[in-house]
Structure 1
């Protein structure tokens, strides 16, 4: 363990907007672009294994929560679990794929929603791995004594990207369905999660000691894979939306829509697994010593690909120790690892000394992030 005091997760919270939305009810919230795209959506649902998800949108196209308000709800839940008061928080680190505003930073919006006294804030914006960027920031600040009560959150309001009006200028009834768009429309979900970190465990109940958090970006090897703000991720059409003559011109060119490139995504898997093997060696970590493995993935089929590669390397963690709730919550992006941890703490009989490994791969431009915890 690196120098500094030990740091403990004393509270884990989540917030999911509304009631779970079943597959057959999705169109009532995000609409239908065309009959052909809905047919492709049904095939995607069969592959991704998701049965329910949550939307901050209502069936009239309005919104019930903002991204920042969902984060604030999750933070209040985490503070309740930690038995701490909101005014005690002295550091806030937030993560999201896209905040409610272009400017200012997302942490400012969440701080405003919380309405708590002045404190240090940090905004992390990426895709899924920004969750552990926020946690690592909070962890290190507590570790060196800069913070006594830090909160890290992850939240997503993905459904606002998926209304048919978002695609109308370039993608209509006559258009051939675009798998880069459709996969995300039928996979992503809304929600938020949060952690409370302190320099000591709770007097009673479960706390989790943060042993290490490690990251690596491989953006030197890949173009963007999951992206928004450009018409394409390669070639002449990869200019950013702000370089068009106007935001309207970028929108009409299809440079605003959220997309995912599957060929690049599958090429990332061996890289992520290679980094996992590197960390096993660095920390002399035996996969058989891991009691709970919390891997983030966006589809059941991608989870199966992850298992296939781990078996080939001989570094597979016993499948019965995998904890993933994609089927029940959908892919909640930066919130997913927080929501998995909350469910683990609430529903599993954790015992002191048990070891938890969290894995958050990010397809944005290839990031891998790991966090190792010990139950105390």
Structure 2
């Protein structure tokens, strides 16, 4: 039996932290108290104009590859989860493959499931590896959400940040990704979307992120609780067996409500939202890498990751680390 296990993790955040007070000094109509009490976010990182998702992904990937103890050309599958690609095409994954110097002809493609993107990408990579067709996958979540924010809308612009996280997934005789579940319901797309596009060189529609915060909150808490139970049930596992929960880092109140619904103490929840803000598809691998590198997550630990994002999409995976 072939399984897929995480062999290494990596992450990258661009520049220095930008605090809530920094945003006020930049002219945003907000305050540290307003943002903190509603979201738990104190700072975020913002990429400069010349930096794209593939640039962030490159550094995170190099760190994950180093942690896995392999060489870039040993990667035979590259999947990047992003809603903010460098170009319309080629894919950010293809650009990343080139920047890493991978020339083995393995597939490279993007997955677009917004904040659930990393869970989607990891699940897809696991299927490739378990099929026997590929041995080592690089799975990345990378975003420059600052490019799609309306900086006059304080209800959204204070929430998001830029960054990238990556894992190397390898074929193994020991279970790693124990169970996963993916879902979507497109009927909810109006509550979180960027309702614009490009045609004939012009922006058609609205190119900025728009969100109904209350509707997103209610939807997120319900589906995150449900999908975590779903993957545990698939594996015949109890909540008590989970060492760590890594939810999508969108809002501390969503995270706290989800943990309470699952009956998991916040002491067992990895949170980075205070320092990173919502980095969409990058948020889960960023939090995972932080907890691996600071020693909280260790080999033998059981981890649940879960995300929910525009689409609406949602998903979870149960991982024996």
Regarding TM over 0.5, the answer is yes
Deviations 1:56-102 (A, max 9, x none): 12xxxxx2521111111111110011111112111101111120112
Counterpart pick for 2:14 among 14, 17, 37: 17
State the partner residue of 1:119.
Answer: 106
Q: Is the 8 A contact 2:179 2:234 kept in 1?
A: no
What residue in structure 2 maps to residue 247 of structure 1?
A: 202
Among 137, 143, 155, the alignment partner of 1:183 is 155
Q: Report how many residues are paired.
A: 319
The structure-2 alpha-carbon separation of the partners of 1:247 and 1:356, relative to structure 1 and needing over 3 Å to count, comes to same
In 1: Cα distance, 2:24 partner to 2:150 partner: 9
CA distance in 2, matches of 1:305, 1:340: 18
| 8 Å contact kept, 2:224–2:258 | no
- 1:227 aligns with 193
Distance 1:160 1:271, change over 3 A: closer
Give me the whole-angstrom Cα distance separating, in 2, the residues matched to 1:192 and 1:328: 14
Conserved? CA contact 1:98–1:125, under 8 Å: no
- Three-state SS of the structure 2 residue aligned to 1:356 is strand
Cα distance, 1:322 vs structure 2:
0.9
> 1:331-359, CA deviations, whole angstroms, 9 ceiling, x for partnerless residues?
11111111111112111254553211111
Alignment of 1:1-376 (within 5 A): 4-26=1-23, 31-32=26-27, 38-39=29-30, 43-57=34-48, 63-117=49-103, 118-162=105-149, 181-200=153-172, 209-220=176-187, 222-230=188-196, 241=197, 247-248=202-203, 250=204, 255-268=206-219, 269-308=221-260, 310=261, 315-362=262-309, 364-375=310-321
What's the CA shift for 1:126? 2.4
C-alpha separation between the residues in 1 aligned to 2:316 and 2:123?
10
1:246 Cα deviation after fit: 7.2
Q: Which has the larger radius of gyration?
A: 1
Q: Do the aligned partners of 1:10 and 1:208 also contact (CA within 8 Å) in 2?
A: no
Task: Report the secondary structure of 2:176's partner residue.
Answer: strand
Determine if contact 2:165/2:282 at 8 Å carries over to the other structure.
yes
Q: Secondary structure at the match of 1:129?
A: helix
TM-score by length of 2: 0.90
More strand by share: 2
What's the RMSD between the two structures over aligned residues? Answer: 2.5
Taking the aligned partners of 2:233 and 2:313, their CA distance within structure 1 comes to 19
Relative to structure 1, is the Cα distance of residues 214 and 326 closer, same or farther in structure 2, using a 3 angstrom cutoff?
same
8 A Cα contact 2:305 2:317, kept in partner:
yes
Give the unaligned 5+ runs of structure 2.
Answer: none
Could you say what secondary structure the match of 1:7 adopts?
strand
Provide closer, same or farther for how the CA distance between residues 200 and 185 of structure 1 changes in structure 2, counting only shifts above 3 A. same
- Identify if the C-alpha distance between structure 1 residues 109 and 74 changes in structure 2 by more than 3 Å, giving closer, same or farther: same
